[in-house]
Amino acid sequence: MRCPSCDGGLAEGFLYVRGFGGALFWGSVKDVGFLSRQGLEQIDLSAASVTGTGTQAVLEGWRCDRCRMVAFRSKR
């Protein structure tokens, strides 16, 4: 697999997302307040995690050693 940012090689591994809730949010703007979910899409990590989620989700992922881009697949 090639990096979408710099076309370098991607190393396979795992992302450890720690904290309660098993959720990550995606938005197209950078200034959404901490307590707001307006304009954010929730990525349910419990569906993408290779283990159960409690205090952490473990996601299969890839990282570019050249530019440090990180990627993972979300599941809906």
Specify the pTM: 0.73
Q: What per-residue confidence (pLDDT) applies to 52?
A: 76
Q: What per-residue confidence (pLDDT) applies to 14?
A: 94
- Kindly report, residue by residue over 29-63, the tens digit of the pLDDT: 999 998 898 999 988 887 788 887 778 888 899 99
Instruction: Decide if 3 contacts 61 (C-beta within 8 A).
Output: no
Could you tell me which of 41, 22, 40, 23 has the C-alpha nearest to residue 32? 40
The structure tokens listed for 30 are: 């950078």
In the chain, the N- to C-terminal Cα span, in Å, equals 22
The structure tokens listed for 20 are: 């309660």
Q: What per-residue confidence (pLDDT) applies to 5?
A: 95
| Residue spans per domain, the chain | 10-72
With a CB cutoff of 8 Å and minimum separation 6, the contacts of 39 are 27, 28, 29, 32
